[in-house]
Structure 1
Amino acid sequence: MSQLYASLFYQKDVTEIFSDHALVTYMIKAEVALAKAQAQVDVIPKAAASSIEQVAQTALKDIDFNNLAIATGLSGNIAIPFVKQFTAAVKAVDEDASRYVHWGATSQDILDTACILQARDALYVVERQLQHAYAASLELAEKYRAEVMIGRTWLQQALPITFGHKAARWASSFKRDLDRLEQMKARVLTAQLGGAVGSLASLLDQGSTVVEAYAAQLNLSVPSCTWHGERDRIVEMAGFLAIVVGNTGKMARDWSLMMQTEIAEVFEPTAKGRGGSSTMPHKRNPVAAASVLAAANRVPALMSSIYQSMVQEHERSLGSWHAEWLALPEIFQLCAGALERTVEVLQGLEVNSKNMQRNIETTHGLIMAEAVMMAIAPKMGRLNAHYLVEKACQQAVAEQGHLQDIVSSFAEVKQYFSADELALIFKPESYLGNIQEQIDAVLQEAKGEVK
């Protein structure tokens, strides 16, 4: 990603986690954990593990990244030239210890484990952002629970809702995202150590013991068996991120549509230089929504690559595994970026209650047609009530009158309802169904869980 676009689409902490220097740092952690685990069960000398750990503390500054980049293109993955450089660094300090660097492991063991370590740190950032987004949307749900606005279906005015209900639905999405994240951690944050074909034959009868010690060193789950060729953990993780991006994309679509000039019900937060046009001084563009929606557009394409990478050959793949290296980091970065923009908007959203009320009146009462029909139906039957109200709607449109005035002139209605009763039926606040109960349920679910 160009640095010029990074601040628009990405989030700096997650971008750093997936930087070249960070990847090598995570690979060094995996190599140290491997050596310490093997020394713990007497597979390699403890002195060798100690030297490897000591060298690792300053190894990053000795890595020749230019050489590493060139060698990666020749060797097919970064682990092979990395291990050569790291081994050379250990040899310069302790030649005997250098013989035990990367002992019994294969390149994919180190790269997969480094990937999981990256993912763990990045998921922590995503989780923190989700908590902020959840808290902000809950606050909106509580504050605007009684703020009546128009609900829209197929982009058309439908029935009244409240803005608090819309925010409660957003909050509910974030709660499910947080639940998904917590549930998948034990499955996906798992160490990888299998050797050439997953058998760890090079460790003789100590393979399982080393894997357990290795996972413990890194505070990762212990796999029941190696997963070189089975990529469902990566897919589940990426799929979770894609769901989060999709959820934020839905919200961004909502608030960007509500920012349209003719609607103007909410606005993204203002800041100097934000949301302007290069040619139209009057514009206030939904720039955060644009970033989020771009991520929601991009991530499904990347997910296609991740899903296709599941189909691998035998014990270790040719090309499929490699495709993850490009797709997964970008999905993480786009997800964190989309969340960062969403949190900014939710925490600083400007709500225009006056325009919400104005838009409710745009149809001159037509949005209350269902409410009128359901009120009349017990008196004359649903089908007859539907016919009567449909006729009234057509007349109101033709005459550009208010539906309440038209309906109140019908003899069939006058015999059952007084003017005051009919006025009550036409109040949007009287036709909100169980919205308040839904908001209560979302707020109750959150008690004690929002940090």
Structure 2
Amino acid sequence: MSQLYASLFYQSDVTAIFSDRSLLSYMIQAEVALAKAQAQVNVIPASATTIIEQAGQFALDKIDLDALAIATGLAGNIAIPLVKQFTAIVKQQDEQASRYVHWGATSQDIIDTAMILQCRDALALIEKQLQSAYQISLQQAERYRDQVMIGRTWLQQALPITLGHKFARYAAALKRDLDRLQAMKTRVFTAQLGGAVGSLASLKEQGSIVVEAYANQLGLTAPECTWHGERDRIVEIASLLAMIVGNVGKMAKDWSLLMQTEIAEVYEPTAKGRGGSSTMPHKRNPVAAASILAAANRVPALMASVYQSMVQDHERALGAWHAEWLAIPEIFQLCAGALERSNEVLQAIDVNAEAMKHNLDTTQGLIMAEAVMMALASKIGRLNAHHLVEHACQQAVAQDTHLKNIVSNLDEVKEHFSVQALDEIFKPESYLGNIQMQIDSVLKAAQGDSK
């Protein structure tokens, strides 16, 4: 990603985790953990591990990145040339210790484990962002629970809702994402160590105890079986990120549509230099939404690559595994960027209550047609009421008048409803169904989590 665009689409901390330098750091961490685990179960000398661990502390400053980049293109993966350089660094300290670097492992063991460590650290940051978005949505659900606005279906005015109900729905979706994240941690944060074909034959009968010790060193789960050809863990992580991006993308779609000039019900927060046009001084563009929606557009395409990469060849794939190296970092960065911008907007969204009230009146009462029909249905039957109100709506449109002016003159209505009762039926706030109960349910669920 160009540095010029990074601030628009990415989030700096997660981007740093997937930088070249960080990747090398995670790989060296895996190599050191492997040596420590093997020394712990007497596979290699403890003295060698001490030297390897010491070398790992300053290896990043000694690695020739330019040479590594060239060698990676020739080797087919970054682990092969990195192990060579790291072994040489250890050898400078102790030739005997250098013999035990990468003992019994294969390139994919180190690359996969490093990726899992990256995912774990990046997901910890994303979890904080997600929790923040959830809490802000809860606060806004409470704050705007009585702010009546029009609900829209097929981009058309439908029935009244409240802005708080929108936020409650956002919060409920984010809560599901948080629950999914928690549920998958033990399953996906799993070490990879299988050797050449997954048998760890080079470690003979000690393979399983080394895997257990290796995972413990890294704070990861030990797999019951090597998983280098089965990529569901990686796909599960990416799938969660894609769902998060989809959920915040839905929010961004909502508020960008509500920002349209003709609607003007909410706005993204203002700041100097934000949302302007190079030619039209009056513009207030939804720039955060643009960034989030771009991520929501891009991530599904990346997910297609990740899903396709599940179909791997035998014990190590040709190309499918490699495709993950491109897709996973970008999915993480786009997700973190989308969440960062979502939090900014959710926290400081500019609500135009007057515009909401004005838009409720735009149809001259037509949005209350269902309310009238249902009130009348209990008196004359639903189908009869539907036909009656439908015809009244057509008359109101033809005469360019308020629907109440038409139905108030119908004999069937005058027979059953007083003027005051009809006025009450036409109040948008009187036809909100169980919205308040839904909001309460979402808020209650959050209180249960905090106990």
For 1:313-332, list aligned pairs within 5 A. 313-332=313-332
In the TM superposition, what is the alpha-carbon distance from 1:448 to its structure 2 partner? Answer: 5.3
Amino acid at match of 1:197: V
RMSD: 0.8
**For residues 158 and 360 of structure 1, what CA distance do their matches in structure 2 show?**
10
Is the Cα–Cα contact under 8 Å of residues 127 and 178 in structure 1 kept in the other structure?
A: yes
In the TM superposition, what is the alpha-carbon distance from 1:378 to its structure 2 partner? Answer: 1.2
**For residues 324 and 18 of structure 1, what CA distance do their matches in structure 2 show?**
13
Is the Cα–Cα contact under 8 Å of residues 135 and 450 in structure 1 kept in the other structure?
A: no
**For residues 284 and 249 of structure 1, what CA distance do their matches in structure 2 show?**
19
Do structure 1's residue 5 and structure 2's residue 5 form an aligned pair?
Answer: yes
> Which residue of the partner structure matches residue 108 of structure 1?
108
For 1:50-449, list aligned pairs within 5 A. 50-447=50-447, 449=449
Q: String of CA shifts for 1:260-302, please: whole Å, max 9, x gaps.
A: 0111111101100000000000000000000000000000000
For 1:36-47, list aligned pairs within 5 A. 36-47=36-47
The 3-state SS of whatever aligns with 1:314 is coil
**For residues 42 and 384 of structure 1, what CA distance do their matches in structure 2 show?**
86
Q: Which runs of 5+ in 2 are unaligned?
A: none
Q: String of CA shifts for 1:125-159, please: whole Å, max 9, x gaps.
A: 10000011001111110000010000000000000
In the TM superposition, what is the alpha-carbon distance from 1:412 to its structure 2 partner? Answer: 1.3
Amino acid at match of 1:443: L
In the TM superposition, what is the alpha-carbon distance from 1:450 to its structure 2 partner? Answer: 5.8
**For residues 108 and 412 of structure 2, what CA distance do their matches in structure 1 show?**
78
Q: Which runs of 5+ in 1 are unaligned?
A: none
**For residues 378 and 273 of structure 1, what CA distance do their matches in structure 2 show?**
57
In the TM superposition, what is the alpha-carbon distance from 1:449 to its structure 2 partner? Answer: 3.4
In the TM superposition, what is the alpha-carbon distance from 1:447 to its structure 2 partner? Answer: 1.0
Amino acid at match of 1:179: D
* TM-score of the pair, normalised by structure 2: 0.99
Q: String of CA shifts for 1:144-182, please: whole Å, max 9, x gaps.
A: 001000000000000000000000000001100100000
**For residues 254 and 450 of structure 2, what CA distance do their matches in structure 1 show?**
24
Is the Cα–Cα contact under 8 Å of residues 37 and 217 in structure 1 kept in the other structure?
A: yes
* TM-score of the pair, normalised by structure 1: 0.99
**For residues 76 and 359 of structure 2, what CA distance do their matches in structure 1 show?**
60
Is the Cα–Cα contact under 8 Å of residues 131 and 450 in structure 1 kept in the other structure?
A: no
Equivalences, count: 451
Amino acid at match of 1:274: R
The 3-state SS of whatever aligns with 1:160 is strand
The 3-state SS of whatever aligns with 1:449 is helix
Amino acid at match of 1:322: H
Amino acid at match of 1:434: N
The 3-state SS of whatever aligns with 2:449 is coil
Is the Cα–Cα contact under 8 Å of residues 134 and 450 in structure 1 kept in the other structure?
A: no
The 3-state SS of whatever aligns with 1:151 is strand
**For residues 429 and 179 of structure 1, what CA distance do their matches in structure 2 show?**
33
**Percentage of matched positions with identical amino acids:** 74
Amino acid at match of 2:3: Q
The 3-state SS of whatever aligns with 2:93 is coil
Q: String of CA shifts for 1:315-351, please: whole Å, max 9, x gaps.
A: 1111100000000000000000000000000011011
For 1:11-26, list aligned pairs within 5 A. 11-26=11-26
**For residues 301 and 56 of structure 2, what CA distance do their matches in structure 1 show?**
38
**For residues 270 and 276 of structure 2, what CA distance do their matches in structure 1 show?**
10
Runs of 4+ aligned structure 1 residues displaced above 2 Å come to 448-451
Amino acid at match of 2:360: I
Relative to structure 1, the CA distance from residue 450 to residue 361 in structure 2 (aligned partners, 3 Å threshold; closer, same or farther) is farther
Is the Cα–Cα contact under 8 Å of residues 201 and 207 in structure 1 kept in the other structure?
A: yes
Amino acid at match of 2:365: G
The 3-state SS of whatever aligns with 2:157 is strand
**For residues 41 and 262 of structure 2, what CA distance do their matches in structure 1 show?**
71
**For residues 410 and 82 of structure 2, what CA distance do their matches in structure 1 show?**
84
Is the Cα–Cα contact under 8 Å of residues 150 and 161 in structure 1 kept in the other structure?
A: yes
Q: String of CA shifts for 1:299-318, please: whole Å, max 9, x gaps.
A: 00000000000000111111
**For residues 359 and 449 of structure 1, what CA distance do their matches in structure 2 show?**
37
Amino acid at match of 2:406: I
Is the Cα–Cα contact under 8 Å of residues 276 and 283 in structure 1 kept in the other structure?
A: yes
**For residues 60 and 348 of structure 2, what CA distance do their matches in structure 1 show?**
41
Amino acid at match of 1:368: M
